[in-house]
Amino acid sequence: MSKHQWYEELQKTITTGTLLIDESLCKYTMTKLGGAADLLVIPGTIDETEATVRYAYKNNIPLLLLGNGSNMVVRDGGVRGIVLHLSQLNTIRIEGSLVHAEAGALIIDVSKRAAATTLSGIEFACGIPGSIGGAMAMNAGAYGGEIKDIIVQATVLTKAGERLVLSKEQLELGYRKSIISQEGYYVLSADFQLAQGDQGVIDGKVADLTFQRESKQPLEYPSAGSVFKRPPGYFAGKLIQDCGLQGKGHGGAEVSLKHAGFIVNKDNATASDYIQTINMVKAEVKKVFGVELELEVKIVGEEITE
């Protein structure tokens, strides 16, 4: 089956969403990098999402969930198969102190909505650039808070398109990992338990964390965020800084001068530039400190072939 056949068949199901053949993914990633997807599917509803996953599974078509593209590097050769982008699944609903958010909602927006209704517990996420789906898969965290502190349950799809509701315990949330990433589940939505707080205290905390983020992170350039996980007993950024790697890189990609844990697309970088810079950093830190840095970002897709 060709991508044109996939398009024609999925058109029968995707009536409120969007289907795009050979769509460049650089428009959908925070790094502004990446080649084209054979077929990009942007479902309009959860049912359309479920139908897409089932269609890919039934027809043995590779399926990649892109999320908000904030923690992912797409290679220059693009992605074969179907890429699922859940940006239209962005409903946020608040009932008392319980917050329900669909997978495509940005976690920053959930944090803002909670703060606006005097709910506390998710202030830590006011600067995390990812979607709820990505945040769930990675158990996203910052400034001493993480998803596992507030999650009640998540609704996911298995690779076969079976819908499951997983409790906090069943999600097996750990440092930048979960049963979602382990099993390759697709998040549909999540429910968070927050607490009534003091508006002044919440606003003050959000303002402080926003200032810390803006003053320390290179938000003026496209990037995939923090590239490496924190090695036991170390800080990745400090190791990279102590190797003297800030400002160094390949092509248009370089290690940020503002925060050594970030690699930025400073000057029309290619994905190859970005990945070469990642590998250079890993090799140098290994040589100098004997520490093997582990990626926090996910590298997907194919190299350009002649």
Residues annotated as catalytic (active site), given as ranges: 176, 226, 296
The amino acid present at 67, given as its one-letter code, is G
Residue-by-residue DSSP string for 167-230: EHHHHT-BTTB-HHHHHT-EEEEEEEE-EE--HHHHHHHHHHHHHHHHHHS-TTS-EEEE-BPP
Q: Determine the longest span between alpha carbons in the chain, in angstroms.
A: 60
Spatial distance between the Cα atoms of 90 and 160, rounded to a whole number of angstroms: 23
Q: Is 285 helix (H, G, I), strand (E, B) or coil?
A: helix
The tokens for 25 are 């993914």
Angle between helices 46-58 and 3-10 (to 10 degrees): 140
Angle at 192 between CA 187 and CA 198, to 5 degrees: 150
Phi, psi of 205, deg, nearest 5: -65, -45
Determine contact, residues 97/83, Cβ cutoff 8 Å. no
User: What is the torsional sign of CA 206, 210, 216, 222?
Assistant: positive
